Chains A and B, each alone.
Chain A
Amino acid sequence: MQQKILNLLPEELRNMASDLYDVILERSLMRAYQNLSEENKAKMAQVFDSGTEEEKIDFFKNYLGDLQKIMIEETKKTAEEIKK
């Protein structure tokens, strides 16, 4: 569905969607990371450095559960910034 919608957009905007998504995702992850305790920050570094796929998914579920909410907020913020 996402791809279908993207394909209906003008080419120049379609090409940018992926880059913009990257920016929003990175900003959101950074915010979620900053909310973690020092102990969990270290754990995250260890999991994403050498952990298994399951461990990574578990980390998201257990410590970054509000990522979706943060992403919506960051999208709004990004839209506001582009407006300026």
Chain B
Amino acid sequence: MPDIEKIHEEIDKNNAEIDKYNAEMEKKERERIKEEYERLSKQEKPTEELIKEKKEEPKEKKKEGEKEKIKEEDIIQKLTPENVKVACKKGKPIELKVKITSGEIEDGWVVKSINPETGIAIVLKFTEKKGKASSFIRKDISIEELKEWNKQETKEPREKKEKTGKKKDEQPEKKEEKLKEQKEKSPEKQLDKIIKEIGEGNISLDKLTNFLSIPGAGEAISKILNNSKFQEKINKPETRKKIKEYTDKLQEFIDKEKEGPKSKVITKAKKFIKEQIKTEGEQKKESPRKTTFGAIGGIIVFFLAFLLLLGLTGVNYLADEAGGKKRK
């Protein structure tokens, strides 16, 4: 017994060190992004090209709607790795809208760079809170998504606003409601709700699998699993015991299944699917095949992750499994 205690002490110590290291790395990354952002902001001098562009502007002002539409179309067209690089060098990073976690499309983000191979853009947003040091939010987003968000926002809402003749701030209540609704729909909120329901014993497998099929479910699960408290909980002796019981059961089930008769055609089809998933993972490209094979694998893996999650968030899923006592 003393040995086990020593091991746990060691684990706790290691976890504390990992947390400390992660915090340091995060701090360093924030500082680096802040420096870069400041550097880009300082370069905001009018270049010859910009002066020329201004001179070339027509004297007659265009109608507001048309002007905005052109501006948004420009943004979409400008989103190429080369243009982003040039804009940053000029000290005028491209500004655009980004869909944030709550589901809302938010203004005031800038593109820092685009990876030409993966098509993933790094976008930044400067945030400042009272009494706190300023910081930056960073997101890695595909160009397609950025284009979509900047396209959507231009057409529908603005046209509607113009038609009704109502100003932006005239309906704050509705806006708040909409925001609340969007927040409720975010994967994180849905996951919170599901975990709460599980705790009350009300969740169904249907609800779970539906959740797992929505975009962002994987990220939401990953966030929870990544949480240091959660990791701490996983390393507790009683949790490890439950996991052991659960995995023993799983192994028994798998072994039994493996012993069964095999069909040649099914084995070949299975092999083919697994090869396809592997290739998709290596290529990391969007393709029609991805929806055929990759998504299937994703759902199953997420499901497995969730099974574990259920047992470790106070649900007693694993305990129920082991003890054979099911909650109402």
Cβ contact within 8 Å between B247 and A71: no
- Partner of B234 from the list A10, A61, A71, A78 (CB cut-off 8 Å) is A10
A68 at the interface (CB under 8 A from B): yes
B272 at the interface (CB under 8 A from A): yes
A48 to B266, CA, bound (A): 9
**Given A1-B218, A29-B270: A24 and B300 interface contact (C-beta under 8 Å):** yes
A13 to B289, CA, bound (A): 28
- Partner of B308 from the list A10, A21, A76, A80 (CB cut-off 8 Å) is A10
Interface string of A1-16 (1 = CB under 8 A from B): 1111110111011001
Which residues of B sit under 8 angstroms from A75, Cβ to Cβ? 209, 299-300, 303
Interface string of B235-273 (1 = CB under 8 A from A): 000001001101101110110011000011111111011
B302 at the interface (CB under 8 A from A): yes
A10 to B243, CA, bound (A): 8
Which residues of A sit under 8 angstroms from B289, Cβ to Cβ? 57
Interface of A is mostly: helix
Interface of B is mostly: helix
Cβ contact within 8 Å between A9 and B225: yes
Q: Using C-beta atoms within 8 Å of the partner chain, give the interface range for chain B.
A: 35 or more
Cβ contact within 8 Å between B263 and A30: yes
Q: A52 → chain B, closest Cβ, in Å?
A: 11
The interface size of chain A toward B, counting residues with CB under 8 Å, comes to 46
Cβ contact within 8 Å between B298 and A19: no
A39 at the interface (CB under 8 A from B): no
Interface string of A41-63 (1 = CB under 8 A from B): 10011001100000011001100
A29 to B265, CA, bound (A): 10
A2 to B209, CA, bound (A): 16
- Partner of A6 from the list B243, B249, B305 (CB cut-off 8 Å) is B305
Which residues of A sit under 8 angstroms from B295, Cβ to Cβ? 68
- The chain B residues found within 8 Å of chain A, CB to CB, are 205-206, 209, 213, 218-219, 221-222, 225-226, 231, 234, 240, 243-244, 246-247, 249-251, 253-254, 257-258, 263-270, 272-274, 276, 281, 289, 292-293, 295-305, 307-308, 320-321
- The chain A residues found within 8 Å of chain B, CB to CB, are 1-6, 8-10, 12-13, 16-17, 19-27, 29-30, 33, 41, 44-45, 48-49, 56-57, 60-61, 67-68, 71-72, 75-76, 78-83
Q: Can you list 5 residue pairs at the A/B interface with Cβ under 8 Å? A: A23-B253, A23-B254, A26-B257, A68-B296, A71-B300
